[in-house]
Amino acid sequence: MGIVTTTCTKESELIQILSLQSKNSPENLSSGEKTQEGFVTVSHNLELLNRMNAVCPHIIAKDGAVVVGYALCMHPNFGLEIEILKPMIAEINSLLPPPDPYIIMGQICIDKSYRKKGIFRELYKTMKQTLPPQYKRIITEVDTSNPRSLNAHYAVGFTDLKTYVSGKHEWKLIELQ
């Protein structure tokens, strides 16, 4: 059957996203795994994922009925509901004029056993193809202590917008056009 990338359409898929997110949260990984495999920074809840998905559907990779990867699509307004993302929104707003519409890639993650199979690239390809046409940019940020994620983003064409410090973290604000 193979792996298919598509938009998220079911609550059961959102629940699988949350499960994959939990497995890849820093508190569930060793320091070696965090360095070698990467990690996710934000933990979402089902209600927020549902609302985000209604505005701009998340992109998922499925092996049959199993979600093995995801890229969360997030309208900038949702960034104000997630405390750790507020500084990112402020930085973006300082760089881009208000009528310049963009979408935030809120988080990307691939199940450990499915990595190095091109899924990361396919998730972004599908995201670009399915985004509403008014969104010309995909913006995200990566913790500089997560080199695996940062290098993967550069490999698919992301470029630096700015490096900044928030809290105890240094962030690379990056975009894909």
Name, in order, each residue with C-beta under 8 angstroms of 139's C-beta and a sequence gap of 6 or more: 92, 102, 103, 104, 105, 161, 173, 174, 175, 176
The pTM (predicted TM-score) of the whole model is 0.88
Determine which helix (DSSP H) or strand (DSSP E) holds 32, and give its type and residue range.
helix 31-37
Percent of the chain topping pLDDT 70: 92
Give me the domains of the chain, ranges plus CATH numbers. Answer: 3-176 (3.40.630.30)
Q: What is the mean pLDDT of the chain?
A: 89
DSSP per position, 108-153: EEE-GGGTTSSHHHHHHHHHHHHS-TT--EEEEEEETT-HHHHHHH
Give the pLDDT confidence of 25-50 residue by residue, as tens digits.
766 666 777 666 666 667 789 999 99
Give the pLDDT confidence of 98-136 residue by residue, as tens digits.
777 899 998 899 999 999 999 999 999 999 999 988 888
Residue 75 burial by Cβ neighbours in a 10 Å radius (0-12, 13-18, 19+): middle
pLDDT-based confidence at 81, cuts 50/70/90?
A: confident
Q: What is the pLDDT of residue 36?
A: 65
Q: What is the pLDDT of residue 167?
A: 84
